[in-house]
Amino acid sequence: DTGRVFLLDDVSSTNTYLLDRVGQLNSGDCCLAERQTQGRGRRGRQWVSPYAGSLYLSMYWRLEHGVAQSAGMSLAVGVLLVEALESLGIVGVGLKWPNDLYVGQNKLAGILVEMRGQFGEPADMVLGCGMNVSLGAQAAADIDRAWTDLASLCGDDVDRNQLASAVIAHLRAGLRQFEEEGLQGFLSRWQKYDLFWNRDVNIHLGERVISGRAAGIDEQGALLLESSEGLKSYNSGEVSLRPV
Ligand code: ATP
Ligand code: BTN
């Protein structure tokens, strides 16, 4: 289980740091930073990360079979993060499709997968994870939604070095499995942590809202929804999931 870890105090974004260096990286190399000045979430949203004391981590992975092989990779990362926490005795964290970690109604961590590559060539994947460890009072004003941190879940005794090393070890081993089996090997594990399994939800498709019952995910990582339109799957690029 080897690989490099680039440990930085300040960076624009750990994802950007690796994306700028893809030609020099090996699968499993990572970047960790104390703070990010331009941490980002999906769809151009912001990831609030000006405080030291959290986990901002990105890992590089090369997929030999290209972009097509990456379907569901971010969902596999979600499973691996929850399992890394469990290995440290931290339980009670679940998954909100497609790739957020929640404790109850509160967001604990988010995952941002970005890639570089041409069709027909190997793909350079960067898997970014932001996890709130101990955010402090200032964060309440900065984050525009219900959030939580590990300190609230299990007290102030979370060792960030242990956390980072568990996350890195689980990602390195798990992504090797993902490379061989795809999302298949993660489906039942994802379902185990699915916070919305068999619950009534709304999904937002642009201006449209569809109500139904969440029925897990398919082999591509798409959301399955049982609604008046029957059982249909929805891709993460097009919809947002909301509790009823
Ligand atoms: P979806 O549309 O799929 O429901 P989302 O609403 O969770 O996704 P994301 O892009 O996944 O949005 O996450 C970015 C959002 O996370 C930001 O818009 C902000 O509301 C929230 N956020 C930003 N920083 C933090 C943080 N440190 N902890 C928790 N939540 C954060
Ligand atoms: C989301 O919930 O939308 C995903 C948030 C991902 C944040 C992490 S922090 C480390 C890495 N660097 C970034 O700029 N984003 C990811």
Q: Please report the ipTM that was assigned to this predicted complex.
A: 0.96
Rounded Cα distance between 40 and 143, Å, is 13
Residue 29's nearest CA partner among 15, 14, 18, 39 is 18
Which segments of the chain have a pLDDT < 50?
A: none
The answer to whether 107 is a known catalytic residue is yes
Residue 42 falls in the annotated catalytic set: yes
pLDDT digits (tens, 9 = 90+) for 37-93: 999 999 889 999 988 889 999 999 999 999 989 999 999 999 999 999 999 999 999
So what's the pLDDT on residue 199? Answer: 96
Among residues 42, 96, 172, 189, which one is catalytic? 42
pLDDT tens track for 167-180: 999 999 999 999 99
Determine the length of the chain.
244
In sequence order, the 6+-apart residues with CB closer than 8 A to the CB of 65 are 122
User: Is 78 a pocket residue for ligand 2 (Cβ < 6 Å)?
Assistant: no
**Choosing from 21, 35, 107, 213, which is the catalytic residue?**
107
- For ligand 2, the distance from its centroid to the CA atom of residue 110, given in whole angstroms, is 6
Catalogue all structural domains in the chain, each as residue range(s) with its CATH number.
Answer: 5-193 (3.30.930.10), 200-243 (2.30.30.100)
> Which of 57, 112, 145 should be mutated for ligand 2, with most atoms under 8 A from CB?
112
Q: What is the percent of the chain where pLDDT is above 70?
A: 100
pLDDT of residue 1: 63
Question: How many angstroms separate the alpha carbon of residue 170 from the centre of ligand 1?
Answer: 23
